[in-house]
Amino acid sequence: MLETVILTIAKIIIFFAVLMFFVAYGTYAERKVAGGIQDRIGPLHCGPFGLLQPLADGLKLFFKEDITVAKSDKPTYYIAPILAVVPAILVIAVIPVDENIMITDLNIALLYFLAVSSLSVYAIMLGGWAGNSKYPLLGGLRSASQFISYELVLGLSIVCVAMLVGSFSLRDVVLYQKDMWMVFKQPIAFICYMIAAIAELNRAPFDLPEAESELVGGYHTEYSSMKFAMFFLGEYANMVVSSAIATCLFLGGWYAPFSILPFIPGFIWFLIKTFLIFFFMLWIRWTYPRVRFDQLMGMSWKVLMPVVLLNILVTGFIVTFGR
Amino acid sequence: MYQAISPYVPVLILILLAVLFGVVTLLIAWLVRPNAPYSEKLSPYECGVEPLQPGKLRMSIRFFVIVLLFLLFDVEAVFMYPWAVMYKPLGWWGFIEMALFVIILFVGYIYAWLKGALEWE
């Protein structure tokens, strides 16, 4: 009993450390990729190839003065940054990195993921509302409506996967993909999932809540110092975990592609795939211009919703009558 | 290995750790950072001018409509989760039942579209 608890705590700390490493070097990767795409060099001066840049950024943010806006709603103002980072950390509980490496194997892992990840909208909403300022409020409102619109698409695209697998446990989902990855069986669900994930993360081309040209900084305009850093930590941690979930759901988790190179351990494959999806998100951000807000909402309600509902019906039809 | 404890215990530990991480990080930052406020610095940001109106604006009704639609469709989507897990054992009868459900959902969806609830003007 005690041994198990200690082992669990050790595992949690390792998972947490890996997540934080990914988050720190996610910011570095973002700047390097942005630099590469725009024909610049990117961070260069802190350490070899600028590798110490995330550490320097973190230290700088610790020592920055914190400005609490006059007439802001103090409790909400302080809770929002913590709420921004907590949901992303909670998701790592159910991510299976290898067949037997995971924090806990819940039989409702996918429901847990949906429930926990949708909490992050509260951080943005409350953060935008608490500042007693106009830009954050507008950014928060936009973000909330964007988030809930795409939450539906995300949830329904997961339904397509659960229909084939017959289980909500992420471990079962990956085991199901031993012979053939889900992305070949459910390409439409994969595309819908990726679009919804990028939109929920408020990343370009869907970064309307923090569109600089109209809303200054969006929901975190009034945040500074470490509170501001928490929002960014939350955003990148959310990117990492939704890449990891996409890997589990569609890209065969820890299985090697087409069973090549079987001597490479599964968790290495898992990390490589997660990083590739992460890189894909960066690539999209620095390639496409921002869409308009009515286009954004129309995309979710008028295009993705019917597509994903039809996908459920077609999947059901094939599973029932096609065998 | 996890028979000894409930699978939800790790989740509980993780919640504690996550909240602790947030609080401790903010506390450390509070200890080490400088603090020199004055009233201009603490005023809400408004592109360099004095704030003209109070910060809490009236908002567009479109946001409310979107929330309402989300509630309806999300409750309907929740019905699909247990059905999706039990899909194979249910067989063709399960398919027909859910097809009927999705068709009814579609009727409501088309109604909302024709009523202009999805337009953003």
Specify the pLDDT at position A79. 87
Mean pLDDT in residue range A288-317: 86
d(CA B84, CA B95): 10
Q: Where are chain A's structural domains?
A: 70-321
Specify the pLDDT at position B98. 82
**Within this chain, do residues B67 and B105 fall inside the same structural domain, yes or no?**
yes
> Does residue B84 fall inside a structural domain?
yes
Interface contact flag, B80 A312, Cβ < 8 Å: yes
| C-alpha to C-alpha distances, A87 to A116, A224, B28, B120, nearest whole angstrom | 6, 21, 21, 30
> Does residue B51 fall inside a structural domain?
no
Specify the pLDDT at position B22. 86
Tell me: the pLDDT tens digits for A240-257? 999 999 988 888 878 877
Length of chain A: 323
Tell me: the pLDDT tens digits for A40-88? 888 888 878 878 888 888 888 888 887 777 777 788 888 888 888 898 8
**Within this chain, do residues B34 and B70 fall inside the same structural domain, yes or no?**
no
What's phi and psi for B93, nearest 5 deg? -65, -40
- Tell me which of A3, A11, A62, A293 to substitute to probe the interface with B (most B C-beta atoms closer than 10 Å): A62
Given a cut of 70, whether residue B1 has pLDDT beyond it is no
> Does residue B48 fall inside a structural domain?
no
- Tell me which of B39, B75, B80 to substitute to probe the interface with A (most A C-beta atoms closer than 10 Å): B80
Interface contact flag, B44 A138, Cβ < 8 Å: no
Specify the pLDDT at position A88. 87
Three-state DSSP state, A287: coil
**Within this chain, do residues B66 and B109 fall inside the same structural domain, yes or no?**
yes
> Does residue B24 fall inside a structural domain?
yes
Given a cut of 80, whether residue A36 has pLDDT beyond it is yes
> Does residue B54 fall inside a structural domain?
no
What's phi and psi for A33, nearest 5 deg? -65, -45
Choose the closest CB to B92 out of A225, A227, A320. A320
Interface contact flag, B22 A81, Cβ < 8 Å: yes
For residue B22, which residues of chain A lie inside 8 Å, CB to CB?
81-82, 85-86, 230
The pLDDT confidence band at residue A119, using thresholds 50, 70 and 90, is confident
CB < 8 Å from A in window 71-110 of B: 73-74, 77, 80-81, 84-89, 91-92, 94-95, 98-99, 102, 105-106, 109
**Within this chain, do residues B37 and B75 fall inside the same structural domain, yes or no?**
no
Q: Which amino acid is present at A248?
A: C
Residue of A nearest to B11 (CA): A93
| C-alpha to C-alpha distances, A148 to A130, A143, A239, A283, nearest whole angstrom | 20, 9, 17, 25
Tell me: the pLDDT tens digits for A196-235? 988 888 787 887 767 666 777 777 777 878 888 888 888 8
Tell me how many residue pairs between chain A and chain B have CB atoms under 8 A apart. Answer: 218
CATH value at residue B88: 1.20.58.1610
> Does residue B107 fall inside a structural domain?
yes
* Predicted structure pTM score: 0.88
Specify the pLDDT at position B91. 78
For residue A148, which residues of chain B lie inside 8 Å, CB to CB?
66-67, 70, 74
Pair of tokens at residue A272: 């490589």
Specify the pLDDT at position B3. 54
Return mean pLDDT, chain A.
84
**Within this chain, do residues B32 and B69 fall inside the same structural domain, yes or no?**
no
Please give the tally of structural domains in chain B.
2
**Within this chain, do residues B66 and B110 fall inside the same structural domain, yes or no?**
yes
> Does residue B10 fall inside a structural domain?
yes
Tell me: the pLDDT tens digits for B47-96? 667 767 766 777 778 888 888 888 888 888 888 888 888 888 887 888 88
Burial of A220: CB neighbours in 10 Å, binned 0-12, 13-18, 19+: buried
Specify the pLDDT at position A101. 79
* Residue span of the structural domain in which B88 resides: 61-115
The pLDDT confidence band at residue B12, using thresholds 50, 70 and 90, is confident
CB < 8 Å from A in window 30-49 of B: 30, 32-37, 39, 41-47
Q: Which amino acid is present at B34?
A: P
